[in-house]
A and B are shown apart, each in its own frame.
Chain A
Amino acid sequence: MKDEGKTMQITVERTGGFTGIPVTKIIDSKTLPQQEAARLHKMMTEADFFKLPTTISSSPQPDRFQYRITVEQEAKQHSVTVDETVVPANLKPLLNWLMAQPAQPATH
């Protein structure tokens, strides 16, 4: 419950895939409705995000996605790079939720 008071900044970059076009999502929990923010905190806890290894990879397969999720929460910061084929089951709900957020315009 304590963590729910702390705001989080999350960046997700999806690269690879058939299109090869990277997609970035930036989420600030401050801007979320309270219910969504609570949901996000719950998914973060379920994923045990800050304890996930920095790289979760499989041998590269054609046209699959790779995700890089970075979370900043007060002094804490953690990045996880994960291949689509080996996304841990407890991280999947968080990843799906993040990818359903509106995309940022391309930066290049």
Chain B
Amino acid sequence: MISSQNETARTPSRPQGTHICPICCIIPPHMSDHILKHGDEKMQTWMMETIRRSEQFQGRREVIGNFALALSPGEKRRTVYDARKRETLPGKLVRSEGGRKSRDVAVNEAYDGAGATYDLYHDVFERNSIDDQGLRMDSTIHYGVQYDNAFWNGNQMVYGDGDGRLFNRFTIAIDVIGHELTHGVVQYEAGLIYQGESGALNESFADVFGSLVKQRSLNQTVDQADWLIGAGLLAPGIQGVALRSLKEPGTAYDDPMLGKDPQPAHYSSRYRGSQDSGGVHINSGIPNHAFYLAAMEVGGFAWEKVGKVWYITLRDVLRSRASFSKAADATISVAGQLYGQSSHEQTAIRKAWQTVGVIE
């Protein structure tokens, strides 16, 4: 089912700057090393892109030539860098695929979390890494000073250490890692614009697949899962269990310093202000909860059925400006194709979107 891509639905959006530079593959390594060490950020980013592209190019050539290669596309390829509290990316290489475990727990968390995310996409959805072409998964840890954030910058994952008073290190929760990598997947697929409802859908897909990475790594059924995003991320003394809850949006924390979890579970309570790109981290609670309700109704392992519907919807159907109601219709339609019209799965998904008030 998964391999039959419906390309008529839309043209996949690709990240900017995908032109191929003819000199890319002939820059001597010492020169690229020099640029990576001493160039400015723009230059370094360009150099990293160049190296990536040439690796991919070489990978393809070697597949054509039928050589066995240690690092060929189709395999998990992870690298972890240490920014050592600076903001220069990618930082110093500290672990690459197959490399020894580090004494630094953040290195291993970033490495293992990227691995679990790769495995979910590969084993369940037959997707080969973020771009479905075996893209190397790069992570940088110890970014900035007391940096309370994690992000996907278009090319790689970046994790801060947290300030220690409000937040712990951002690699501590495996669903945060799955979340960031999924922003990469969204970028290569639906390309959901990070503003308003399409932005909240972008956030929601990241939370849903982030949670599925955690559930699968723990082999949890829908009843066993905690359905939380960022469990363990809140520093000691902060009143809360996590950052977001797919099960009960709006209940993850309530603390004098952080305030109260603002996520709505129903469309009528959606945030309409301009902060946070139109509340992308707030209104994501609505589609998050729809996924949770559908998964609970279907039962078993959430990634097997409802997860598959969400993945196919993201990959084949949604366009970059999709609204909540478009996403609802798309998942119902995909469920019909995968499991049959009026199937239990399709009915569960329709009912879930009705319960959160997105469709009637």
CB <8 Å contact, A20 and B199: no
Cβ-defined contact, A63 with B259, below 8 A: no
CA–CA, A35 and B81, complex, Å = 37
In the complex, what residues of B have CB within 8 A of residue A22's CB? 259, 275-276
Q: Are A21 and B151 neighbours in the complex by a CB distance under 8 Å?
A: no
Chain A neighbourhood of B280, CB < 8 A: 20
**Contact partners of B262 in chain A: CB under 8 A:** 20, 108
Do residues B206 and A16 form an inter-chain contact, with CB atoms below 8 A? Answer: no
In whole angstroms, how far apart are the Cα atoms of A11 and B259 in the complex? 18
B176 within 8 A of A: yes
Within 8 A of B (CB), among A15-66: 15-23, 59-66
**A8 to B206 CA separation, bound complex (whole angstroms):** 41
Which of the segments B66-74, B220-228, B250-258, B323-331 contacts the partner chain? Answer: B250-258
* Residues of chain A with a CB closer than 8 A to B170's CB: 18
B258 & A20 in contact (Cβ 8 Å cutoff): no
Contacts of A17 in B (CB 8 A): 148-149, 151
Q: Verify B148–A20 contact, CB threshold 8 A.
A: no
Residues in B with CB closer than 8 Å to A75 are none
- Check if B151 sits within 8 Å of A107, measured CB to CB: no
CB of A63 within 8 A of CB of B276, answer: no
Chain B residue with Cβ nearest A13: B275
Mask: chain A, 58-83; 1 = CB below 8 Å from B; 0 = not: 01111111100000000000000000
> What is the bound-complex CA distance between A103 and B203, given in angstroms?
26
- CA of A23 to CA of B194 in the docked complex: distance in angstroms? 21
Q: Is B281 an interface residue (CB 8 A)?
A: yes
Smallest CB–CB gap between A36 and chain B, Å? 18
CB pair A20–B152 under 8 Å, yes or no, is: no
Task: Tell me, yes or no, whether B243 is within 8 Å of chain A by CB.
Answer: yes
Question: Count the B residues whose beta carbon is within 8 Å of the partner chain — how many?
Answer: 39
Q: Is B292 on the interface with A (CB-CB < 8 A)?
A: no
**In this complex, what residue of B is CB-closest to A104?**
B257
Q: Which of A15, A23, A106 contacts B256 (CB 8 A)?
A: A106
Q: Is B277 an interface residue (CB 8 A)?
A: yes
Closest A residue, CB atoms, query B179: A18
| Residue numbers in B under 8 Å from A23 (CB-CB) | 148
Q: Is B260 an interface residue (CB 8 A)?
A: yes
Q: Does A18 lie within 8 Å of B151, measured CB to CB?
A: yes
Are the CB atoms of A63 and B255 closer together than 8 Å? no
B195 within 8 Å of A (CB atoms): yes
CA distance A64 to B150 in the complex (A): 8
CB distance from A15 to the nearest CB of B (A): 5
> In the assembled complex, which residues on chain A have CB atoms less than 8 Å from the CB atom of B151?
17-18, 61-64
Are B167 and A19 in contact, with the CB atoms below 8 A?
A: yes
Contacts of A105 in B (CB 8 A): 256-257
Kindly provide the distance from the CB of B284 to the nearest chain A CB, expressed in whole angstroms. Answer: 8
B150 touches A16 (CB 8 A): no
A63 touching B243, Cβ below 8 Å: no
CA distance A106 to B261 in the complex (A): 11
**23 A-B interface contacts by CB (under 8 A):** A16-B275, A17-B151, A18-B243, A19-B148, A19-B149, A19-B167, A19-B281, A20-B276, A20-B281, A21-B243, A22-B275, A60-B195, A60-B199, A60-B277, A61-B194, A62-B151, A62-B183, A62-B206, A63-B183, A64-B151, A105-B257, A106-B256, A108-B259
Q: Give A residues with C-beta under 8 Å from B.
A: 15-23, 59-66, 96, 103, 105-108
Q: Chain B: residues with CB nearer than 8 A to chain A?
A: 145, 148-154, 166-167, 170, 176, 179-180, 183, 186, 193-195, 199, 202-203, 206, 230, 233, 243, 255-260, 262, 275-277, 280-282
